[in-house]
Amino acid sequence: MKALDGVRILDFTHVQSGPTCTQLLAWIGADVIKVERPGVGDATRKQLVDVPGADSLYFTMLNHNKRSIEINSKNATGKEVLTRLVKECDVLVENFAPGALDRMGFGWEQIQKINPRMIMASVKGFGPGKYEDCKVYENVAQCAGGTASTTGEIGGIPMVTGAQIGDSGTGLHLAFGIVAALLQREKSGRGQKVLAAMQDGVVNLCRVKLRDQQRLKAGPLTEYSQYGLEIPFGEATPRAGNDSGGGQPGRILKCKGWQHDPDAYTYFITQAAVWGSICDIIGRPEWKEKPGYATPPERLDKLDEIFEAIEVWTMTKTKYEVMDICNPLNIPVGPILSMKEIAEDEGLRATGTIIEVDHPERGPYLTVGLPIKMSDCDVEVKRSPLLGEHTEEILREVLGYSSEEIAQIGKSGAVGELKVAEE
Ligand code: CAO
């Protein structure tokens, strides 16, 4: 049994944000029918190709558990097929550039006429307002959503993060909206429009930076290293290097092997509650009671000295040894794991967060499985579809077209090349 068994999704998504959303819904049981342009498909199929002739990892890792149908949405017969699909589906998900769906003839008003129970869910770069017509990609959203201005070294240039909080983050937000709209439809009997703007999603993920923006009115942000370094604060939340955001000083420190391993580092938080244990393990027990060191406010102007002393200790240990020593003492630390280490991590493999999938064109590859674990929903990760792999199956089984009708549709140029089976 799966959470979304019986829910059918008309998936007009491409690239990353929309496909992240529909992949999540497919994993938990929705029948996701991905509409792709005949002969071309999602642009990511052929982006960053590592195995010539095969679908790229970019595509395969974002489109598991979906079925692919090729339809030209600008062809008259293609529009008829799509109209029937709109009647048969519960949710339409899209992340076209603003206005593209209206130009196809499938805007919200038209969708409601065809199927009043339809939930129409969109990712756009910006919400309504002066930027609503802009095309937006990951880093644009990160910049417009507050990540870039608050990430990077103190006094350095703005930085984007490596996590795809604009694309995948917005896909997650949209999936939440869709599931909520499905629940509401149980009571109202109506569909609704769901919009997740990438800027809004990033702003939501930058919540604590907006918190700090407001705290600035009350004075300097004392937990930022900048305060201890006596660098004045400006009018906006500054970049804070690797400071921790929770009010307890934290830094990234070198570990044994840092000279040749770029990821031999640990995150180390000097949480007030375990200050005594920290002093003991680094060999500075006198700091526990010493005036100027004993309480968190006293330590604020000595953070460089304190973290240097901690680093002298962490440099004698591997990042895993730091974890093994600190965890039993409740000292919050985190090894800086490389993608290689994550790919090989036995724990992540055991829980299905990192999973190996086989593919007819490219053979086995690694992907990230469903990161949410549900006790009563069976999750099986199936490979992504080849372009148009299910065109005929969907025309016949979902839409009920006969072989003769399917042959006509094939001749109309509305779908890709078809191999029509005998009835
Ligand atoms: N049959 C026929 N035409 C199709 C089709 C199909 N099956 N699928 C798409 N098209 C057409 C669209 O109708 C559109 O045509 P018009 O411009 O004539 O209306 C055209 O293909 C291009 O679609 P697009 O504008 O969405 O694609 P793009 O490459 O120009 O822009 C992107 C890509 C991502 C910038 C844009 O879609 C966008 O801003 N999306 C919203 C924000 C978003 O999701 N960004 C994240 C991208 S990474 O996840």
Q: Quick one: which H or E segment has residue 377?
A: none
**pTM for this prediction:** 0.95
Q: Cβ contacts of residue 133 below 8 Å, gap of 6+?
A: 98, 99
Please give the number of the atom of ligand 1 that sits closest to the Cα of 13. Answer: 44
Q: Whose CA is nearest to atom 31 of ligand 1?
A: 97
pLDDT at 197 over 70: yes
Any bridge partners for residue 368, and if so which?
Answer: 354
What is the Å distance from ligand 1's center to 387 Cα? 17
Query: Can you state the angle between helices 198-205 and 207-215, rounded to 10 degrees?
Result: 60
Q: What mean pLDDT do residues 315-331 have? A: 98
Q: Is the pLDDT of residue 423 over 70?
A: no
What six digits make up the tokens of 116?
A: 């009043």
* H-type alpha helices, 259-357: 275-281, 296-299, 303-314, 319-326, 339-344, 346-351
CB 204 within 8 A of CB 184: no
pLDDT band at 223 (very low <50, low <70, confident <90, very high): confident
- CB 137 less than 6 A from any atom of ligand 1: yes
Tally helices (H) and strands (E) across the chain. 19, 11
In whole angstroms, give the CA distance from residue 59 to residue 96.
17
Separation between Cα atoms, residue 5 and residue 324, nearest integer Å: 43
Q: How far is the CA of 138 from the centre of ligand 1 (A)?
A: 15
Predicted confidence at residue 420, as pLDDT, reads 56
Average pLDDT, the chain: 96
Higher pLDDT, 300 or 127: 127
- Tell me: pLDDT of 419 over 80: no
Residue from 42, 55, 167, 212 carrying the catalytic annotation? 167
Predicted pLDDT at 228: 86
Considering just the CA atoms, what is the radius of gyration of the chain in Å?
A: 26
Residue 95 Cβ inside 6 Å of ligand 1? The answer reads yes
CA of 96 to the centre of ligand 1 (A): 4
Q: Is 124 in the pocket of ligand 1 (CB under 6 A)?
A: yes
Determine what percent of the chain is predicted with pLDDT higher than 90.
94
Active site residue 167: yes
Q: Is residue 46 pLDDT above 90, yes or no? A: yes
Mean predicted confidence (pLDDT) in 330-354: 97
Q: 256-291 pLDDT, tens per residue?
A: 999 999 999 999 999 999 999 999 999 999 999 999
pLDDT digits (tens, 9 = 90+) for 276-285: 999 999 999 9
Return phi, psi of residue 197, to 5°: -90, 140
Give dist(CA 71, CA 389) in Å, integer: 12
pLDDT above 90 for 422: no
* Token couple for 287: 């700091």
Task: Determine the distance separating the centroid of ligand 1 and the alpha carbon of 98, expressed in angstroms.
Answer: 8
Confirm if 383 and 62 have CB atoms less than 8 A apart. no
Amino acid at 196: A
Give the whole-angstrom CA distance, residue 22 versus residue 67. Answer: 11
